[in-house]
Structure 1
Amino acid sequence: MVSRGGILANVATYAAAVLIAAFFLVPLTWLVSLALRTPQEIFFGASRFIPENPTLDNFGQVLRDRGFLNYLWNALKLSGLGALGSVIVAAPAAYAFSRFDFRGRGVMMMAILAVQMVSGLVILIPLYRYMGWLGLLETHVGVIAIYIAIGLPITVWLLKTAFDGVPIVLEEAAAIDGYGHFETFLRITLPLASPGMASALILNMILNWSQFLVPFIMLSRDAQWPISVAIYNYAGSTTASTTHLLAAACLITILPAILAFLLLQRAIVSALTAGAIKG
């Protein structure tokens, strides 16, 4: 039987969850309302939350804009390559933390996690100068390199968890067959940890997709912008008569991340919890 204290705790938890959901859903529903309005209905404001004549023409108009499609492609390229780079670079480090017992391993893992807590604003100026010294300003290569660095801490932790879930007896059997550490890593561990690696890749792509500060500082040419920067600049020049197009563009921008998380949330959660209980 559940105690009264337990019931109250559950009620408080669900109430807090509802409040948090409402905090994020109210602006989203307002955005949907604006995106479905005709240019005439934009001027009704909050007095008509549900559009009288909802239309999808705004989405069609935005998607027919070649510039908008180029921004989407830039965002996909930057987020995808940044996520892939983070997984590739983090995998050997995560494997070493998972399989090798060396001095200072726990301290190094915590240090890696602490790096994740450092705000990008703290290192923005030296980072900008460093990328300029390398000649990587105004290039997608420079943005991707920063995405990789930003994603490394959380990716190392995710992949270590995935590697922890791979039975070590399989690697011991491979060693008996004459495999070295690197060959075992490539042929045994990586294939078995592929679900966790895929989840880390997806999570990194979602985080990179929403990146704004890095491309905003690194890129100044319109043709190189990802969609986050393009919408920011468009919003600064928009008028009331084009608010419906801006809302439609914003919805199109956030939908990939929302859909990816909703469709793949089970895989992402399993990657976060894999290896949490080891026999």
Structure 2
Amino acid sequence: MSPRAADRATYLVALLIAALFLVPLSWLLSLSVRTPQEVYLGAARYLPEDPTLENFRLVLTDRSFGLHLWNSLKICALGGAGAVAAAIPAAYAFSRFSFRGRTGLMVAVLLVQMVSPLVVLIPLYRYMDALGMLDTHLGVIGVYVALGVPLSVWVLKSSFDRVPRSLEEAAEIDGCGRAETLVRITLPLAGPGVAAAFILNTMMGWSQFLVPFILLTDTGKVPISVAIFNFAGSTSASTTQLLAAACLVAILPALALFVAVQRLIVRAVSGGAVRG
């Protein structure tokens, strides 16, 4: 196969993958701008004849929706930040220290990441009940931190590996201790990796459903994913357009956060390169 044909095949596969994700989103957008009457048409009409933004107005002016959105932002951001903070010492140790069984421990950390929360859901519920942390945001954040640490360790370890050890050695000669060197030298240079770990953990928490669904029972404390599920369970065809609008609005904060931090990563990589 010629290079040009290979490029065309690659673009074709990329377009097919993009269509796999964009077609459902476009259909959701179509439902979100319909009137209640046009919802009953279903798949018979893809483009509504009389599109309206009234559904988005109703969703955005609903005080309970804003509360659930804030719950998601708080839980996911704190969970992501906690996972990164907890993973930094372990990732730094894996990157800078040589000890017996280091490779095996790294593999073990990765294997923990592969364990689904569904497997430990019952003991997790009983554990949180014993600690008195059921129906609290702190309990959910703690679980998000535990779920995000393995991935964060791998991402941060790779970032620390790219920081030259000579800079840390120079800082130690100037009198900096190990912890001060980590905070003042290594972490700033590994900023893109720290940001990437935070993004991944926040996105993982944003898409999490089982943990908050099981641990939170107060409707005023649940995140947007659980709130939309509860609304979907009680909805009818006349409110499908509201559900579609709510789903789209719920996606926007995650996309905005990803785009904002992605720009930070690009600036850090291009402007913070280490020059020999």
TM over 0.5: yes
2:149 counterpart (148, 152, 160) = 152
Contact preservation (8 Å) 1:196, 1:271: no
* 2:15 counterpart of 1:18: yes
Partner in structure 1 of residue 223 of structure 2: 226
- Per-residue deviation, 1:16: 2.8
CA distance in 2, matches of 1:76, 1:217: 19
2:76 counterpart (69, 76, 79) = 79
Partner in structure 2 of residue 115 of structure 1: 112
Structure 2: tracts of 5 or more residues without a match: 270-275
Kindly provide the CA deviation profile for residues 234-276 of structure 1, in whole angstroms up to 9, marking residues without a partner as x. Answer: 000001111110000000011222343345446669999xxxx
CA distance in 1, matches of 2:195, 2:176: 25
Partner in structure 1 of residue 185 of structure 2: 188
Partner in structure 1 of residue 88 of structure 2: 91
* 2:51 counterpart of 1:54: yes
Q: How does 1:194-233 map to 2 (within 5 A)?
A: 194-233=191-230
1:243 counterpart (237, 240, 244) = 240
CA distance in 2, matches of 1:269, 1:107: 33
* 2:129 counterpart of 1:132: yes
Q: Which letter maps to 1:86?
A: A
**How big is the alpha-carbon RMSD for the aligned residues of Structure 1 and Structure 2?**
2.1
* 2:32 counterpart of 1:35: yes
Q: Which letter maps to 1:214?
A: V
Q: Which letter maps to 1:118?
A: V
- Per-residue deviation, 1:76: 0.4
Residue range with higher mean Cα deviation, 38-47 or 233-242: 38-47
Q: 1:27 to 1:35 in 2, by over 3 A?
A: same
CA distance in 1, matches of 2:138, 2:34: 39
SS of the equivalent of 2:171 reads helix
Q: Which letter maps to 2:57?
A: G
CA distance in 1, matches of 2:9, 2:76: 37
CA distance in 1, matches of 2:108, 2:39: 50
Contact preservation (8 Å) 2:191, 2:268: no
Q: Which letter maps to 2:204?
A: L
> Under a length normalisation based on structure 1, what TM-score does the superposition of the two structures give?
0.90
Kindly provide the CA deviation profile for residues 13-71 of structure 1, in whole angstroms up to 9, marking residues without a partner as x. Answer: 33332222222211111100000111221122112211111111111110111000000
* 2:139 counterpart of 1:142: yes
Contact preservation (8 Å) 1:200, 1:268: no
The number of aligned residues is: 270
CA distance in 2, matches of 1:227, 1:30: 21
SS of the equivalent of 1:21 reads helix
Partner in structure 2 of residue 276 of structure 1: none
Q: 1:151 to 1:18 in 2, by over 3 A?
A: same
